Structure 1
């Protein structure tokens, strides 16, 4: 092997050969983790030890130097093993993408070396009861040091992370991101996510009480109106998690039918695997998975092109609008296909397909919860608006406290109209409202 071989970009097959044994071990424990609701700390440790979090970190910093489409392919394989982990690592991979596009070499070098050493970063972004696009969490100067105070919700992946990046505001209203070690005094991470799917994403509450932050770990928050590929990238990772669910559903339904001996008297084959109707179901499931993967491949290429233009400072507002629309179109297609797959798979068997030991229901539950992010009704409307009028990006995308309009003249007033509601808010990074 020559010196040049040591620094050439890895091929996709080399990356798959490197990580597939780890992913197989993770997949082997997925049903048990689901059954006992055991957070995937052991699985995350396997990924850290294998250098999975440094997939996109450039080789000069000790990472694998994978391309964006290669990393998406590996995340898809991880999603097949356990879709919870793709979502749990979403903030980490988004952080890496942001650094790759950043001109700040000091921050790049610091964080890339941390990631190459195995560190993972989680997020604490979403709050409740705030105005859209604002944070009540405060970064304040006190006795010559910076401290964080506030409460965050849906802090996906932070219980698995070594660092937590917190969205906060300073006293003058400047939006910043402050990163603190996950073991910092005053930082409390709770496992209280109670969704019926994606149960092991570690999407709990984060409480910050006088958590000290080093000045070097505070950076300005990105401005939402600056053209960037990052918001579409964050959406793409969610779609990859959905794609992983579809692949896992196909894998499990094939294994279930192959092992099945019992057949209905009114069936039309001498075994379930030879029953043409069962074969049709499996064929439709497999075809849908093919379509999902094709959509993800196309979306990854679009995001990669936009990432290159973002890094070069060449991404225009029109480019960003088209990318956002393309990812919305991809979301609609992927979500609807995967939800169909995870429902259709039960048609291949009788009551035994509902066995708790199989946990086939987890595929639908996981898909349903993933599809709740950035609800399809809004995405479809936004696509229609962009295609018809071209002004999709005229409004920044935030989830937050609703602005209550006055009721029509003569309409009865509702009790408490205009009063604050305890609904979650978030930026485009983590929309679980």
Structure 2
């Protein structure tokens, strides 16, 4: 693995600290602020950042870390999805003051959230009701966002908005604002059945001043030019979360079976830990987790191949297509085996495994919630249409 000199603590010890009481925090709805801050303080939130001292971890190395982080606590791992996306965007910036500014913030341990999704319009479309209105010296930003994952834990928030009616037509702007700027309000109101302390809430923007230095990127949504596609990274990130959860499912299955002393009169063995049926289930859970890990890391290699060139200013559309296909294939597989594994876990423990005190249902709830970020069936249809009819993949953030 790349030696990243800014990381100031042993990986295993950091992950062990984060894993401690993870299930209890999930059950009680406790925000993992201390665990996110630990990653920041020890340099892991800057794991992928390039600087003069060292090259940041590549995408494969990052996903290897992400899976282990999700095994320790999938809530913490999910909180940082937008943050690590922002770091990758910074890595692609040309050398100069803009890149230096944001690199310094990342290296200092600052966390970046997102405010992109809106309740209106079509999911995935590159159109936003949130607007930037020109004024002297900049713009005023107004709008409302939801699914602002991680923003309640962040120092900065990236916002996607529309600048209307310029000389060349509408433009899409990505702006980066401090959370405490006047007019920015973040409400942690996500009430999902899983992943429910991820700071996934509503971000309201009311006449927020945006200066020219706050603008990270301006794009023309109608322009047909090659651009780096972050979709594969953002989508595979979710399968990295599920894979980490699957490893945790296996951990709990092993602990559960070792702890059992009571079985059924008609069971094939008097001792649960020697019961072939239960051992088979544990083996299947272990296989599902490790095959998923291999699949995620394989797709991560495709993404790194495309990103490595993009960081040098060269966009290879075919490489990004291969990355998108790989990420979609992993989703279709991992979503399916993940949900089944989280259900099969209960066969290890019988009725007592359904106890709320054990909180084993968190795995299914968390996996189910992650899979809903985009429909698995639509991904499979797109892959099939590509194979049978040579149809292009949809051009949106889900691919």
Distance 1:158 1:42 in 2: 15
Residues 7-66 of structure 1: CA distance to partner in whole angstroms, max 9, x if unpaired?
x94189x97972221211111121121111122112111111111110011242x67722
Paired residue for 1:304?
A: 304
1:365 match: 365
Give the CA deviation at 1:197: 1.0
Q: Could you tell me how far apart the structure 2 residues matched to 1:220 and 1:209 are?
A: 21
> What is the Cα deviation at residue 318 of structure 1?
2.8
Q: TM-score, normalised by structure 1?
A: 0.85
RMSD: 2.3
1:176 aligned onto 2:156: no
Residue 363 of structure 1 and its aligned partner are, at CA, apart by 0.3
Superposition deviation, residue 177 in structure 1: 0.8
User: Which residue of the partner structure matches residue 421 of structure 1?
Assistant: none
* Residue segments in structure 2 that go unaligned for 5+ positions in a row: none
Find the counterpart in structure 1 of residue 325 from structure 2. Answer: 325
Which piece of structure 1 moves more, 331-340 or 144-153?
A: 144-153
Paired residues for 1:254-333 under 5 Å: 254-333=254-333
Matched, 1:166 2:159: yes
Residue 203 of structure 1 pairs with residue 186 of structure 2: no
Q: Distance in 1 between matches of 2:42 and 2:278?
A: 39
Distance in 2 of aligned mates of 1:16 and 1:48: 10
- CA shift in 2, pair 1:16/1:342, >3 Å: farther
Mapped contact 1:16–1:74 kept (Cα < 8 A): no
Q: Which residue of 2 aligns with 1:247?
A: 247
- Partner residue, 1:95: 86
- Structure 1 residue 107: deviation in Å? 2.3
Does residue 217 in structure 1 map to residue 208 in structure 2? no
Matches of 2:138 and 2:219, distance apart in 1 = 24
Moved over 6 A (4+): 14-17
Q: Which residue of 2 aligns with 1:396?
A: 395
Q: What secondary structure, in the 3-state scheme, does the structure 2 residue paired with 1:200 have?
A: coil
Are the equivalent residues in 2 in contact too, given 1:54–1:63 (CA < 8 A)?
no
Query: Deviations 1:90-147 (Å, cap 9, x if unpaired)?
Result: 1111111122223253322111111110001000001122363211111223353432
State the secondary structure of the residue aligned to 2:94: coil
Q: TM-score, length-normalised on structure 2?
A: 0.92
1:56-67 matches, within 5 Å, as 56-60=48-52, 65-67=56-58
Q: Deviations 1:277-333 (Å, cap 9, x if unpaired)?
A: 110100111111111011011111111111112223444333322221121111111
